[in-house]
Structure 1
Amino acid sequence: MGRAEDRRARQRGGRRAAPPRRSSAAASAASPEEQVTVVGGRAAARRAAQGRGRAKGKGKDGRSFIRRMFTWKKIVGTVFGVCLLGMGAFIALYMMIGIPKGNADAELQSNVYKYSDGTLLTRDGERNREIVDLAKVPKDVQRTFVAAENKTFYKDNGVDLKGTARGLLNTVSGKGAQGGSTITQQYVKNYYLTQNQTISRKLKELVISLKLDREKSKDYILAGYINTSYYGRGAYGIQAAAQAYYRVDAQKLSVEQGAYLAALLQAPNQYDWAIASDTGKKLVKARWNYVLDNMVEEGWLDKGKREAMTFPIPKTPKAAAGMGGQTGYLVDAANNQLAQQLVAQGTADNVKDALTLVNRGGWTITLNIDKKKQTALEKAAKSQLTSKLDPKKRSVDADVQAGAASVNPKTGAVVAMYGGQDYYKHFRNNATRTDYQPASTFKPVILAAALDENAQTQSGKPITANTIYDGTSKRPVVDHGTKVGFAPENEDDADYGDITVQKAMNESVNSVFAQMGVDVGMDKVLKVASQMGMDTADLKSVPAQTLGTMGASPLQMAGVYATLDNHGKKVTPTIIKSVENSQHQVTLPNPIGDQVVSREAADSVTSVLTGVVDDGTAKVSVRDNADRDGRKVAGKTGTSDENRSAWFSGYTPDLVTSVGLFGESKKNGAQVSMYKAGGFPRVNGGGFPAQIWAAYTFGVSGKGLKFDLDTTQGAGVQPSYTPTPTKSASETPSETPTSEAPTSEAPSETPTKTPTQTPTQTPTQSPTQSPTQSPTGGIENPLDPNNREQ
């Protein structure tokens, strides 16, 4: 029976069926021997079953090890423990992980440079991104991104637990990035973390998102998201994307356009209309509809307006503007001016640090450059100079560099600039370089100082446009009877004898202005030069400076002449119109400063300079130009020693432009002569520079404008009162006024000479000379070697 019962017990699951109970009476009726046999049999069977159970991994109660280990109590306890442990770990992570600084890549921006009308000039930087304030993005456009990515954005706590859990599971299982993150999480990934799909990164994303949502506003997060996201076409951020796809700024995006940009974020390259396949186009249209439908659902868009919307096909991709041509020169000039202003206002300690700050990106710089005038200046330089140079025929032609700057005298705005033939071929900006002499374009500054200081000749006579000086070449300059050791030679060693200041300016007579500088006092001359915009800090007050032997740039000389054009009020040329940066405020100074030269002095110089154009060294290129069309012009030519530079700085009532040509060795950059450049014996200011000036100015300046001059001196005088017999009268087209009797100043002695004939003026000519004066040597061809101009 024992064996049979054991077998049946095994068949029932390893337990032996309990023997039928005997009644207590039957048990007690059994003999003692029988009772022992029964009890012993039960015990033996039980021990046998337990032995077999242990042999099969069962406990004393006969249950398997697995069933004993995974009881409901243990499972619930384990889950509860894991939850507590996870919560503890998350709390620890939350305590340990803070909101970090943005990663370097996310902070990279480009600098954006615009023309004065707001159109794009170029972008410069490692990353095509321009961060814009959310306030500049239309509200409806902002909502397109929320509708596309995270409809509950304004209500949630910054995280999507289901999406995050799904993302963690996908990461562990190797399925890659999947699952829906909130806008906050995506911004955290873009700005604070990396794109790496790791468990640690996902956990950090979760913690930082929660913290960021508590510490920052929804607008802050949304702005960060749309400014850091990648939209394709190399565009990072909504501003760059708006320009790349629709050629507008972010603030001018329509809802339809915004919905397309929001749709792009799901698959920028696949959804770019210009390169999308038919399937891609269908998908992006579906995504676009999805965005707008969500906006209607959320009550952000009227259903009727939604139904009337059509898909806004983006513009074809356009190559990013580079730095070639004149662009690089303009960008460098703007960066340098911005850097100087950052130093001036204390944002940076020095220019080097300021330029580093500028080059970090994030600046939107609108220039004063007028697109039309800029194009005209480039065209004039090409047609009047570069097209006429042929380095294959003449090696010197390769050494000719041109620079020019054009300024509005009323505002100080640099409306055009020519830095060289091409930024990639010649990096140095010829419009801002200061290593070449301005030569005789400095002479008007000497006259301005004389008139402003009420200077007198050695004999005590006032210096005016009609004062007579000795124009003999190599005549020693004297200071009250004492020779100062300086005897400048006139151009081509020409002698002019006794000559008026007006005629001396027309013919650019060195000996006259050298003596005038000493009469005024060279310290006063340099002071006035500094006040008008030249850098004279390290110059010695010596007569040689009257020849314009200091360094100056076309930009500086344009400022000097603009000050004259602006009736003596200081004009500081500025290439920057406005500056924007999300982290730095820049206050631009007023380009129009104080009265640095009296109006009468400035206007008198302007009047005298009209004679240079109408009867002097610039008459062929400027006065006789077919495109002049009656414009009033004042200006001055200049040619430095050894023909290393040649200039024309001139102005109309509304525009000032200075053009310089510089001899620079193509081999080593050294200053060299320009003799025979362009096939001419010598390059003078009345040649190429004046021709470039005229071709440009007469194409863009206003017609019919007149100089409003408060003066009674010089070639272009228009008096504001009726002349008296003792005052020199101004000339007008209808009359020939009489002039004050000029005095002749003999430099080597105090007595004065009285000319035998009083000079008279005509509408187009400076005062005529007395019969006893030397021949004037009038100029017929500004490029002829006999052109007497220095």
Structure 2
Amino acid sequence: MESSGTEPTVIGGRAEARRAAQGKGRGKSKAGKGGKDGRSFIRRLFTWKKIVGTFFVLCLLGMGAFVALYMMISVPEVGNGDATLQSNVYKYSDGKLLTRDGHLNREIVDLAKVPKPVQHTFVAAENKTFYKDNGVDLRGTARGILNTLSGKGAQGGSTITQQYVKNYYLTQNQTVTRKLKELVISLKLDRTKTKDYILAGYINTSYYGRGAYGIQAAAQAYYRVDAEKLTVQQGAYLAALLQAPNQYDWAIASDTGKKMVQARWNYVLDNMVEENWLDKTKREGLKFPIPKPPKAAPGMGGQTGYLVDAANNQLARRLVTQGTADNYNDAMTMVKAGGWTITLNIDKKKQVALEKAAQSQLNSKLDEKKRSVDADVQAGAVSVNPKTGAVVAMYGGKDYYKHYRNNATRTDYQPASTFKPVILAAALDEAAQTQSGKAIGANTIYDGTSKRQVVDSNGNKVGFAPENEDDHSYGPITVQTAMNQSVNSVFAQMGVDVGMRKVLKVASQLGMDTAGLDPVSAQTLGTMGASPLQMAGVYATLDNHGKQVTPTILKSVENSRHSVTLPNPIGDQVISPEAADTVTSVLTGVVDDGTAKTSVEANPNRDGRKVAGKTGTSDENRSAWFTGYTPDLVTSVGLFGESHKNFAQVSMYHAGGLPRVNGGTFPAQIWAAYTFGVAKTDLKFELNTTQGAAVQPTWTPSPTLSPSRTPSQSPTTQKPTKSPTQTPTQTPTQTPTQPPTQTPTQPPTTTPTTPTDPLNPNGQ
């Protein structure tokens, strides 16, 4: 009985003990994790309630700010300053007037006069939801604002309404304020105006290229018809143009640009089918409508139009670079809006001299009635001051009214052998060696056999065996002679010895556009595209002792609404002074004893001027070049075979009555007639080198060799030191008794049986 009476007390005590133990454990756990309530500081700071509350507060603040903006910003009663466009004023470097760009090419037309299918092409191209949306693309605008804040530039996504607001009411400036205003005004405009009103404004204010603002001016500029006569396929082209007017203009577009605009044209028409605005069967029968050649604006005849276009293009690119405009299209709209005073670096005296040289040395010798090919010859030239980078003269073609495209800035023709100095510059700057371990220099011996297989460092053939001009084989020759005679087989092998990636890297540093080029041996023949403007920059950098020169046509720019800062045309040291000066020294041999001798060295007006340069003739005679320089002036002249019927690249054989137009003919003659009329006569190249024709002493050959010519350059007063690339076995005035000590990079096909002149081993 006693034991049964005490059992409840024991059970109750155990339960209380368990509860007490559990309570202590919980208390220790909470206290151990950070405080009175057991929660960490971080967990107490970021609770779900606080996060959600903060989010809603931010949303309310954002909504409040937007409402405030919406109330503050109204739709302007009139267009912006750019809507009331002014003329641009262009001046020569001395401040004298070159031209004004004339009256604005714009005519507003009522939307009712634009065929409905043509209206739909613009909607299909830019904003398929135009008829349904509220005038804005919130996601696209937000992305644009974020990218502006982060400095990433412009992004697409704007509606037709937003683009119209930007063109007509605002500016092209890339700022957050402008984008917010654009958003608010677009929303209000969509509420107060019809879609037809907005579409009419959009197609009447947009810039289409060729100086044309609005669809009426564009219809005339591209198809010689009024807007009401446009076909759907023509409308699709004009709609496609708005994305990139200059890049997509058929008359000046590159092959890539033509492919891109055709792709966009197809995109527009396919969207129309998708939206049921165009019958699928009819769409399949539409062909791309090639635009008509452009006509120049009044006051732009002769060379003026080329100069104005070059200045406008450089200014537009600068506006993008410095962040004033989102993209090139917007920037060009700003330029064409007027109000600019643009002073060019063009020297009127030199400009006139260059035009006269082209007329006397080329145009006067072309006769389309005698030779149809003469109608297909185009010339371009650029002259640059190597100390300042100023483009002092530019020749864009016979007449801006007759040939719209600027031949001085076009990049669709090969520079051919004018690229060879770049290969040598890379070899010298990179301290490259031949495959036998000899440093490459002016006196290095290479095998000049035509169609010689190029081999890599392992002795394997790379599958490239270029032919020399006229299939001439030279045997073992120096690099100097190979440059003088423009021997393809030598520089093809040199490119592999240096490494084509290094060659293209140096080409880029010197000012050529090598983006996307494959580092293959064929590039040693200058098969990439280049312009006279680019090649003038490359050679100006060589003339400036390896310090980069970026040619600029702009001297100063003034505008009441936009501030423009122009970069320094003289940049960093991109190759060593020794490498640049050695190339210059070698290039004097091309003029005095090479492919330019007849046209340049023998010119009676040379009057002692020191000259370096290089000729070039591309495959199938489609281009011919001479780029040369004196200590104070660099000029690149290019001739291009372009069909006067369809603008395709064609050969220039027999043009001007010559069997073949090469760089030593018309290009070198134009160069010499211009340069020897304007360049100073008392300047010398200050060269930091012991290599090349400019510093070689006169060679006295053995009577038994009877070479047909000797270097015409007289010896320097200072005895040259031994070249690091070659150790001569005798003094220059001695009759050579043995072959050069250097080993060719490839065994020659024949063994010379007579002593050889290191500068001219074959007596060529």
- CA 1:355–1:629 in 2, change beyond 3 Å: closer, same or farther? same
- CA 1:584–1:727 in 2, change beyond 3 Å: closer, same or farther? same
1:120 aligns with 2:112: no
Is the radius of gyration larger for structure 1 or structure 2? 1
- Tell me how far apart the structure 1 counterparts of residues 394 and 533 of structure 2 sit (CA, whole Å): 9
- CA 1:106–1:352 in 2, change beyond 3 Å: closer, same or farther? closer
1:707 aligns with 2:685: yes
1:687 aligns with 2:660: no
Deviation (angstroms), 1:108: 1.8
- Partner SS state of residue 614, structure 1: helix
Preserved CA contact (<8 Å) 1:468 1:499: yes
- Tell me how far apart the structure 2 counterparts of residues 706 and 590 of structure 1 sit (CA, whole Å): 25
- CA 1:743–1:399 in 2, change beyond 3 Å: closer, same or farther? farther
Superimposed CA distance per residue, residues 754-779 of structure 1 (whole angstroms, 9 cap, x where no aligned partner): 9974636xxxxxx231xxx4x53xxx
Match of 2:416 among 430, 436, 439: 439
- CA 1:103–1:412 in 2, change beyond 3 Å: closer, same or farther? closer
Residue type at the aligned position of 1:700:
V
Deviation (angstroms), 1:107: 3.1
- Tell me how far apart the structure 2 counterparts of residues 460 and 103 of structure 1 sit (CA, whole Å): 68
- Tell me how far apart the structure 1 counterparts of residues 407 and 588 of structure 2 sit (CA, whole Å): 27
Task: Map 1:306-321; keep pairs closer than 5 Å.
Answer: none
Residue type at the aligned position of 2:300:
M
- Partner SS state of residue 305, structure 2: helix
Residue type at the aligned position of 1:565:
D
Preserved CA contact (<8 Å) 1:458 1:745: no
Deviation (angstroms), 1:573: 0.3
Deviation (angstroms), 1:723: 3.6
- Tell me how far apart the structure 1 counterparts of residues 337 and 103 of structure 2 sit (CA, whole Å): 9
Superimposed CA distance per residue, residues 695-724 of structure 1 (whole angstroms, 9 cap, x where no aligned partner): 000000001211000000010028796544
- Tell me how far apart the structure 2 counterparts of residues 577 and 477 of structure 1 sit (CA, whole Å): 46
- CA 1:477–1:362 in 2, change beyond 3 Å: closer, same or farther? same
- Partner SS state of residue 692, structure 2: coil
Matching residue of 1:664: 642
Residue type at the aligned position of 1:508:
S
Matching residue of 2:470: 492
Superimposed CA distance per residue, residues 266-313 of structure 1 (whole angstroms, 9 cap, x where no aligned partner): xxxxxxxxxxxxxxxxxxxxxxxxxxxxxxxxxxxxxxxxxxxxxxxx
- CA 1:468–1:362 in 2, change beyond 3 Å: closer, same or farther? same
Preserved CA contact (<8 Å) 1:743 1:753: no
Matching residue of 1:649: 627
Residue type at the aligned position of 1:611:
G
Matching residue of 2:760: 768
Matching residue of 2:605: 627
- Partner SS state of residue 695, structure 2: coil
Preserved CA contact (<8 Å) 2:475 2:749: no
Q: Name structure 2 gaps, 5 residues minimum.
A: 1-73, 106-168, 170-296, 697-715
Residue type at the aligned position of 2:304:
T
- Tell me how far apart the structure 1 counterparts of residues 566 and 508 of structure 2 sit (CA, whole Å): 21
- CA 1:124–1:483 in 2, change beyond 3 Å: closer, same or farther? same
Preserved CA contact (<8 Å) 1:663 1:671: yes
Matching residue of 1:469: 446
- Tell me how far apart the structure 1 counterparts of residues 324 and 83 of structure 2 sit (CA, whole Å): 23
1:378 aligns with 2:355: yes
Task: Map 1:87-106; keep pairs closer than 5 Å.
Answer: none
Preserved CA contact (<8 Å) 2:86 2:338: yes
Residue type at the aligned position of 2:387:
K
- CA 1:449–1:362 in 2, change beyond 3 Å: closer, same or farther? same
- CA 1:729–1:450 in 2, change beyond 3 Å: closer, same or farther? closer
Superimposed CA distance per residue, residues 149-177 of structure 1 (whole angstroms, 9 cap, x where no aligned partner): xxxxxxxxxxxxxxxxxxxxxxxxxxxxx
- Partner SS state of residue 637, structure 2: strand
- CA 1:98–1:331 in 2, change beyond 3 Å: closer, same or farther? closer
Residue type at the aligned position of 2:305:
G
Preserved CA contact (<8 Å) 2:355 2:395: yes
Preserved CA contact (<8 Å) 2:447 2:746: no
Superimposed CA distance per residue, residues 53-91 of structure 1 (whole angstroms, 9 cap, x where no aligned partner): xxxxxxxxxxxxxxxxxxxxxxxxxxxxxxxxxxxxxxx
- CA 1:588–1:724 in 2, change beyond 3 Å: closer, same or farther? closer
Preserved CA contact (<8 Å) 1:469 1:744: no
Superimposed CA distance per residue, residues 205-232 of structure 1 (whole angstroms, 9 cap, x where no aligned partner): xxxxxxxxxxxxxxxxxxxxxxxxxxxx
Preserved CA contact (<8 Å) 2:542 2:584: yes
Matching residue of 1:401: 378
Matching residue of 2:328: 351
Deviation (angstroms), 1:632: 0.5
- Partner SS state of residue 382, structure 1: helix
- CA 1:420–1:693 in 2, change beyond 3 Å: closer, same or farther? same
Task: Map 1:184-263; keep pairs closer than 5 Å.
Answer: none
- Tell me how far apart the structure 1 counterparts of residues 486 and 445 of structure 2 sit (CA, whole Å): 14
Preserved CA contact (<8 Å) 1:710 1:720: no
Residue type at the aligned position of 1:346:
G
Deviation (angstroms), 1:349: 1.6
Matching residue of 2:434: 457
Deviation (angstroms), 1:725: 5.7
Matching residue of 1:611: 589
Residue type at the aligned position of 1:364:
T
Percent same amino acid among aligned pairs? Answer: 78
- Tell me how far apart the structure 2 counterparts of residues 346 and 737 of structure 1 sit (CA, whole Å): 65
Match of 1:574 among 543, 549, 552: 552
- Tell me how far apart the structure 2 counterparts of residues 756 and 599 of structure 1 sit (CA, whole Å): 37
Deviation (angstroms), 1:126: 2.8
- Tell me how far apart the structure 2 counterparts of residues 99 and 689 of structure 1 sit (CA, whole Å): 56
Preserved CA contact (<8 Å) 1:504 1:512: yes
Preserved CA contact (<8 Å) 2:622 2:641: yes
Match of 1:544 among 500, 516, 522: 522
Preserved CA contact (<8 Å) 1:638 1:647: yes
Matching residue of 2:568: 590
Preserved CA contact (<8 Å) 1:109 1:361: yes
Superimposed CA distance per residue, residues 304-354 of structure 1 (whole angstroms, 9 cap, x where no aligned partner): xxxxxxxxxxxxxxxx97000000000000011001111111111211111
Residue type at the aligned position of 1:642:
E
Matching residue of 2:757: 759
Preserved CA contact (<8 Å) 2:416 2:527: yes
- Tell me how far apart the structure 2 counterparts of residues 110 and 658 of structure 1 sit (CA, whole Å): 32
- Partner SS state of residue 495, structure 2: helix
Residue type at the aligned position of 2:573:
Q
Task: Map 1:555-566; keep pairs closer than 5 Å.
Answer: 555-566=533-544
- Tell me how far apart the structure 2 counterparts of residues 602 and 331 of structure 1 sit (CA, whole Å): 33
- Partner SS state of residue 650, structure 2: coil
- Partner SS state of residue 455, structure 1: coil
Which 4+ runs in 1 deviate beyond 2 A?
A: 97-107, 125-128, 718-730, 735-760
Matching residue of 1:266: none
- CA 1:755–1:721 in 2, change beyond 3 Å: closer, same or farther? farther
Superimposed CA distance per residue, residues 373-413 of structure 1 (whole angstroms, 9 cap, x where no aligned partner): 00000000000000110001100000000000000000000
Preserved CA contact (<8 Å) 1:459 1:751: no
- Tell me how far apart the structure 1 counterparts of residues 746 and 739 of structure 2 sit (CA, whole Å): 22
Preserved CA contact (<8 Å) 2:447 2:748: no
Deviation (angstroms), 1:635: 0.3
- Partner SS state of residue 693, structure 2: coil
- Partner SS state of residue 625, structure 2: strand
Please provide the CA RMSD for this pair: 3.0
- CA 1:715–1:369 in 2, change beyond 3 Å: closer, same or farther? same
Q: State the TM-score, normalizing by the size of structure 2.
A: 0.59
Deviation (angstroms), 1:117: 0.4
- Tell me how far apart the structure 1 counterparts of residues 475 and 391 of structure 2 sit (CA, whole Å): 41
